[in-house]
Amino acid sequence: MDIARARYLVSAAGREALAAVPASLDARDPLRLATELRKAYPPAEASALAEQLSLRARAAGRGIEGVLLTTHGLEMMTHPVVAARRAARLAGAGLPVVDLTCGLGGDLRPVAALVARAAGLERDPVTAILAAANVPGALVASGDAGHPPFAVGGAAVVLDPSRREGGPRRFDPGAFSPPWHTAVTLAEEARVAVLKTAPGIEDRHIPDAAEAEFVQLGRSMREAALWFGEGSRGGLRRAVLLPGDVELTSDAAECAGEPVPPGAVVFDPESCVTRAGLVRHLGALLGARLMDEQVAYLTAPETAFHPMAATFAVLEVIPFGVARLRQRLRERGWRPAEVRRRAFPVEPEELLRMLGRPEGDPVTLLCTTLRGARTVFIARRVEPPLKGRTAAVENCSGV
Ligand SMILES: C[S@@+](CC[C@H](N)C(=O)[O-])C[C@H]1O[C@@H](n2cnc3c(N)ncnc32)[C@H](O)[C@@H]1O
């Protein structure tokens, strides 16, 4: 998008035109949409409106209705559920908040709704124009986070550096803008700061001064957020599962480290737990232990539930072998409806293909390597009793 288009979209004429587009126009067909709009608007305005409508259709259901979008800005925008949680913590600091890489305002919007003074900085002028319109409650300027045009001392600072396009999901300190070391320095100098980064960040890249939280929304790992300054504690690790705001921190007790043989129940922790390095902490809450120090599956003699783990009743444990597994499934009349794996070389889809998709009662295969031996748990998912689904942990006798 160019500056002229952005200026049109934030103008009174652009806003009125966007609001007036009939809902009957199908935004999923951009070409037809642009043709229809050209009947009522000059070509440049028609294509600006068509672009917004198709981006809004793509963002539908994400809770960002009415926000002006660019393709890139939408891809990089923090999910509103994640942003709302971050904004609440920032507001709790009682300081003005400055978002030094505000993008289209995904983080800044909920902040501005909660604090009296909020400001955003954005290097890309087009994005800055749209952000100013998206967050009328904040002062938004165009500029470089390394040289902010306003004072950030005494503020709570937000940094969400962009990653090189097409870059790997895993953490690469060379791939950020502003550069990683600039972002960390800015964060360490602020009274309060949060630096958002890839969930795959390794421990060695997390500054000692930072408290790190690993945030998951539904089944999807969203980010690692590093908190600095007042109200945070260097070295603390936190797993966060949204929505529902379930948290587990490294302050919790850990289960004993010595691995145990498989019991009647196996637990598969959510990614936020494994990323945060809190599997043993979760084990203590579940009354469970590891079966192998290198594998995040936990086991226990009895069923227990926690929102951060899937609970499985073990039907059989067998050494891995395709022919053996296929035969056992046939004998028992079981159909592998789901395959999960940890420290296991075969892709789930590939294993299902090799097994020939037998028919029968649905079971889950948990494939792993325990003390060097490839092992398969044939298991059945156990859901918590309805009354207990909101409780953090519930123990039930028997399986
Ligand atoms: C990941 S996006 C931020 C998304 C934002 N948190 C949101 O939820 O909408 C990063 C933004 O930082 C901007 N940016 C990159 N380098 C910058 C710099 N040196 N100074 C200011 N902004 C920068 C990019 O243009 C991009 O819009």
pLDDT attached to residue 169? 59
Q: How far apart are CA 187 and CA 103, in angstroms?
A: 18
Atom of ligand 1 nearest to the CA of 178: 19
Residue 12 has pLDDT above 80, yes or no: yes
Say how many C-beta atoms besides its own lie within 10 A of residue 47's C-beta.
17
Mean pLDDT taken over the chain: 92
- The domain of 95 spans 74-248
Say yes or no: CB of residue 178 within 6 Å of ligand 1: yes
Residue 256 domain-assigned?
Answer: no
Q: Tell me if 135 sits within 8 A of 158, measured CB to CB.
A: no
Ligand 1, closest atom to CA 127? 27
Q: pLDDT for 179-238, tens place per residue?
A: 999 999 999 999 999 999 999 999 999 999 999 999 999 999 999 999 999 999 999 999
Report which protein residue has its CA nearest ligand 1's atom 27.
103
- Tell me the CA–centroid distance for residue 126 and ligand 1, in Å: 12
Whether pLDDT at 395 is above 50: no
Q: Which of 97, 123, 215 to mutate to test the pocket of ligand 1 (most atoms within 8 A of CB)?
A: 123
| Ligand 1 centroid from CA 161, angstroms | 5
94 belongs to a structural domain: yes
314 and 374 belong to one structural domain = yes
With CA atoms as reference, report the closest residue to 381 among 292, 334, 315: 315
Judge whether 258 lies within some domain: no
pLDDT value of residue 174:
82
Q: Are residues 206 and 174 in the same domain?
A: yes
Among protein residues, the one whose CA lies closest to atom 1 of ligand 1: 162
Number of domains into which the chain is organized: 3
3-state SS, 138-203, equals CEEEECCCCCCCCCCCCCEEEECCEECCCCCCCCCHHHEECCHHHHHHHHHHCCEEEEEECCCCCH
Does the C-beta of 145 come closer than 6 Å to ligand 1?
A: yes
Check if 223 has its Cβ closer than 6 Å to any atom of ligand 1.
no
The residues, any chain, with a CB within 8 Å of residue 271's CB and separated by 6 or more, are 199, 214, 216, 221
Q: Are residues 95 and 239 in the same domain?
A: yes
Q: Give residues with Cβ within 8 angstroms of 31, minimum separation 6.
A: none
Same domain, 139 and 49: no
Are residues 146 and 274 both part of a single domain? no
My answer on whether 337 and 363 are in the same domain is: yes
What is the average per-residue pLDDT within 72-85?
A: 97
Calculate what percentage of the chain has a pLDDT beyond 90: 82
* DSSP codes, 16-63: HHHHHS-TTS-TT-HHHHHHHHHTTS-HHHHHHHHHHHHHHHHTTTSS
- Alpha-carbon torsion, ordered 58, 60, 62, 65, to 10 deg: 110
CA 195 / ligand 1 centre spacing (Å)? 12
Q: Is the peptide bond before 269 cis (omega within 30 degrees of 0)?
A: no
Q: Look up the pTM and report it.
A: 0.91
Asked if residue 131 has pLDDT above 70, the reply is yes
Same domain? For 21 and 80 the reply is: no
Residues 6+ apart with CB under 8 A from 117: 96, 97
Kindly tell me if the per-residue pLDDT of 122 is higher than 90: yes
Kindly indicate the confidence band of residue 392, based on its pLDDT and cuts at 50, 70 and 90: very low
Residues 112 and 208 in one domain: yes
DSSP 8-state code for residue 379:
E
pLDDT tens by residue, 289-336: 999 999 999 999 999 999 999 999 999 999 999 999 999 999 999 999
Q: What mean pLDDT comes out for the span 119-138?
A: 97
CATH code for the domain in which residue 360 is found: 3.30.2130
pLDDT value at residue 355: 95
Residue 366 has pLDDT above 90, yes or no: yes
Mean pLDDT of 9-34: 84
